[in-house]
């Protein structure tokens, strides 16, 4: 096995996604993922707690990014603009990863347990945003309402991005979706 080649995490992630796509999530074992990546099971568990985490491993970094962007938003920024900046930062994380995101989402869509895990991740994202807005002085329930709305914007933008027939970046689609939301709420 070529254990000492660089980027073990990336190789494991790629191997898992290939196998999940070919065989299905439930039919794929950690041993098969490690073998496809040219690594050992022990190496797999150094990077991931289980085979689900291959699809969800970046959550801590995502939450830190969101927290930082909300905290660093200008004091004059509205709550939706503060979380909008955080969404834009998330979009930038996906640059050059559209095909990977499409494949990952197809695997998740085919497995109810993974769909549940994705919903938990999105709920955590909303909670992190609401906490960040609360630290900025946005009262409850406005902080939570804004955070939940931002997650809905992200979900819609993400779905639009991965299904778009043309090449675009997620940051642009998030910006367009935020603008659509603002236009809808401006008339109320």
pLDDT tens, N- to C-terminus, the chain (188 residues): 444 567 899 999 999 999 999 999 999 999 999 999 999 999 999 999 999 999 998 888 999 999 999 999 999 999 999 999 999 999 999 988 999 999 999 999 999 999 999 999 999 999 999 999 999 999 999 999 999 999 999 999 999 999 998 888 999 999 999 999 999 988 65
- 43: containing domain: 8-54
- Check whether residue 72 and residue 143 sit in a common domain: yes
Q: How many CB atoms lie within 10 A of CB 171?
A: 19
> What tokens appear for 19 in the block?
């196998």
Question: Tell me, what CATH number does 107's domain have?
Answer: 1.10.357.10
- Check whether residue 106 and residue 178 sit in a common domain: yes
- Check whether residue 42 and residue 118 sit in a common domain: no
- Check whether residue 23 and residue 36 sit in a common domain: yes
- Residue 138: phi and psi, rounded to 5, are -80, 120
Q: Cα separation of 141 and 125, whole Å?
A: 16
State how many domains the chain has: 2
- Check whether residue 83 and residue 133 sit in a common domain: yes
Q: Is residue 65 a part of any domain in this protein?
A: yes
């Amino acid at each position: 096995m070529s254990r000492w080649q660089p980027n073990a995490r990336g190789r494991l992630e790629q191997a898992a996604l290939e196998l999940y796509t070919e065989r299905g999530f439930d039919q794929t074992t950690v041993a098969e993922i490690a073998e496809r990546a040219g690594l050992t099971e022990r190496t797999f568990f150094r990077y991931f707690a289980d085979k689900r985490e291959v699809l969800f491993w970046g959550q801590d970094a995502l939450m830190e990014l969101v927290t930082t962007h909300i905290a660093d938003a200008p004091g004059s920024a509205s709550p939706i603009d503060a979380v909008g900046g955080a969404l834009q930062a998330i979009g930038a994380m996906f640059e050059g990863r559209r095909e990977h995101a499409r494949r990952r989402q197809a695997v998740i869509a085919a497995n109810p347990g993974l769909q549940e895990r994705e919903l938990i991740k999105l709920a955590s994202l909303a909670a992190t945003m609401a906490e960040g807005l609360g630290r900025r002085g946005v009262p409850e329930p406005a902080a939570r309402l804004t955070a939940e709305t931002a997650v809905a914007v992200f979900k819609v933008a993400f779905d639009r991005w991965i299904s778009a027939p043309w090449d675009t970046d997620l940051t642009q689609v998030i910006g367009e979706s935020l603008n659509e939301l603002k236009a809808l709420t401006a008339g109320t």
